[in-house]
Amino acid sequence: MKTCLITGASGLIGSELVREFLSQGYRVYGFDLKNNPELKHPDYHYIKVDISNELQVKKAFGKIKRLDVLVNNGAKAKPENTPLEKMKLGEWENYLSINLTSVFLHAKFAIPLLKKSSGTIVNISSTRHLMSEPHTEIYSTSKGGMDALTRSLAISLSGKIRVNSISPGWIADPKKILRKTDHEQHPVKRVGWPSDISKMAVYLASDAAGFITGQDFIIDGGMTVKMIYAE
């Protein structure tokens, strides 16, 4: 049985990633600070981990004997729109440690296992490394760093481990009621669902994607290619 590790496994996208990989016959390990009680499955193993803490990550990896897929999904959501000149250094460092350093840590400990299985890494980034709203420097920087790390790792691990990323746009809970205009502004006429991301992650982890590495896949309903003018 193939094994997948997903960070941030209890969140909106993380939970759907867990379900999708389980549906494909994977044994799944979920690293997060909290467990999602809805994720009950004999092949799902939740481990409480601060994904930015090296000692905790190392200890958690000691429980994994085989690994085929690492999905770096864990992240701290976008902060309040604090102007950069008013931002505290500790806030900046905290966001980068969770959103970017955690990717380094999990790759560091996963690489020896993934080399044995000729496995793959899928990083969940964001379209925020391509487009921004005012005062979102922390989040955009962390996701831009992830994009660069994805490409760099793909070259360093060439022939051994494939590395790709997914950049979601607006991903909403299907149970949440949104305005018609929220959907209509997207060229595909709807916002994204967690399953849009999980299905791409499973594809990138599969043999069908064996010729793909070092790439970022934008899943945003076409928003990053939509020209917008003020009316």
Catalytic machinery residues: 139
Q: Closest Cα to residue 30, out of 73, 59, 68, 65?
A: 73
Q: Rounded distance, CA 6 to CA 121, Å?
A: 10
Q: Rounded distance, CA 123 to CA 71, Å?
A: 6
Q: Are strands 69-72 and 44-48 parallel, antiparallel or unpaired?
A: unpaired
Q: Rounded distance, CA 122 to CA 163, Å?
A: 6
Concatenated DSSP letters of 70-133: EEE---PPP-----GGG--HHHHHHHHIIIIIHHHHHHHHHHHHHHHHT-EEEEE--GGGT---
Q: Rounded distance, CA 137 to CA 103, Å?
A: 19
